Chains A and B, each alone.
Chain A
């Protein structure tokens, strides 16, 4: 199976397989990968790239239009918008990866166990998953973040928990397909334990689907974090985040529209990058949508 090769590094894994060739032929996917890489670099190297301290206020430079000194202008407290957009990439990237990691860590084991065991366990777990999926994603995230209290960490937990059911659903569905394969029966017949079968035989084979889903989920998580921050439930001031920058930009929209343009564009590009990458991976790995 192609799918098994992805994690198998030495035996010609991702780097020299036809998966990579298929991926590289897809121009949109490449653009997505480049965008994601660029914003990841921006987040990691923020202190080196940002021309100013993102939290440095200046009363003499309030709401200045874009200029040679401040490419993106300054905000209502005289802070450099470009530097804040660069630092904002940290909150967004962190939120994307951490909340999806949380969702993955909760959802995948639950879904795999549910699908593998079947029967009553499966029925009960799936009812709970259905219930979580029924509550609109952002409403659930807002409710969770509201009860947990506003902070970036709590926003990531809220988004992660709200996303987990999606992973449970997909993991379960894939397990149902894979578990009837002959090699699983073979592993079972030579006395391999349940946990070992789940990890070494089933998990490896459902990885492509999960990777695609994770990439698309990061896109959703980044929008969700920005939305929560926009509502005041994410990254707290003065630390920069694209969502909270947009929120404060609303009050001076007619005076200083540039404050609102850049953080929104940054969210849009990052999310588009992850969506393009996810779609590309979906095609390259021949995963059904």
Chain B
């Protein structure tokens, strides 16, 4: 197990390195450089030159990269050129908000996706299966920012049950917090629920074809027990692994969801940064999301390994 962990960690290092290079290189796409942006339209050549000198834009790219990633690994992403606030602490403030939203959405998607997927697999080809499959496809095709707008229209504008925007921390006011997170969590969670349905359905279908299921049925077990104890338990492993890997979709969905509901998380931060031309913030959030994904897929591997006796017993 430890050997497996170390091997996987070592394999992740090059990926993390390339991610950081890709994110660093984004700034090469800028017409001109960031000094022009910081200086603004009216800056003199002298000012621009001074900014370049101060921020180190005159150094070779390799030096700039080393300085940037060195600082970033210690949580220092530089300062916002508008407010002069450090970006690192700003990120720390936003992370719990996005995490709260993502967890709420994940719980919702598992609660809907897994039962629906099981129903579809057990009654394969019948009405329920078709209904679930079509709904899942619709869920995947639904642009979540539109779903958000429609929910606001219904629950905030017409019915007035839920606030249209804003975020309340659960530690401040749990009830208001639940109200504020409900719509964003539905918007973020439904497409995920659709994906979970599809995963669960196919995982269950492949487990249901296994010999041990036939054996369990031949023993005369009731169908409910076969499904719950034998099929679902074995299907859960790939489902949970996939849930971990859905992080990317959650993060991407959070960008739009937070924008629609004015939730002050990482997603809103990156969009605001784009419009304030805070390129260092855009890079920081992009780097953070890439690194988190690599670490989560590592976690998924470990879970898969741990839950699968066949892999565990085989020496690596």
Residues of A that sit less than 8 Å from B by CB: 28, 127-128, 130-132, 134-140, 142-144, 146-149, 219, 223, 226-227, 230-233, 243, 246, 249-250, 253-254, 257, 260-261, 263-265, 267-268, 271-272, 275-276, 279, 289
Contact = CB atoms under 8 A, between A and B. Distances in A.
B143 A223 contact: yes
A73 B173 CA distance: 41
A148 B282 CA distance: 13
Contacts of B279: 146-147
The main secondary structure of chain B at its interface with chain A is helix
Nearest to B274: A146
A230 B15 contact: no
Nearest to B152: A253
A261 B154 CA distance: 12
Interface string B254-266: 0110011000000
B22 A131 contact: yes
Given A139-B289, A250-B149, A226 B143 contact: yes
Contacts of B248: 134-137
Interface stretch (B24-32, B43-51, B118-126): B24-32
Interface of B: 14-15, 18-19, 21-23, 26-27, 29-31, 134, 137-138, 140-143, 145-146, 149-150, 152-153, 157, 202, 247-249, 251-253, 255-256, 259-260, 270-271, 273-275, 279, 282-283, 285-286, 289-291, 293-294, 297
30 contacts: A28-B134, A127-B18, A130-B15, A134-B15, A134-B294, A135-B19, A135-B289, A136-B247, A136-B251, A138-B252, A139-B255, A144-B26, A144-B29, A146-B274, A147-B279, A226-B145, A230-B259, A231-B255, A231-B259, A246-B145, A246-B149, A253-B153, A260-B150, A267-B143, A268-B138, A268-B141, A272-B137, A272-B141, A275-B140, A276-B137
B157 A136 contact: no
Contacts of B30: 147
B146 A267 contact: yes
A139 B285 contact: yes
A261 B153 CA distance: 10
A232 B14 CA distance: 34
A100 to B, nearest CB: 16
Contacts of A249: 149
Nearest to A223: B143
Contacts of B141: 219, 223, 268, 271-272, 275
A267 B147 CA distance: 11
Nearest to B191: A223
Q: Which 10 A-B pairs have the closest CB atoms?
A: A264-B146, A138-B252, A131-B18, A272-B141, A136-B248, A147-B29, A135-B290, A271-B141, A146-B274, A136-B251
The main secondary structure of chain A at its interface with chain B is helix
B149 A140 contact: no
A264 B153 CA distance: 13
A253 B149 contact: yes
Contacts of B138: 268, 272
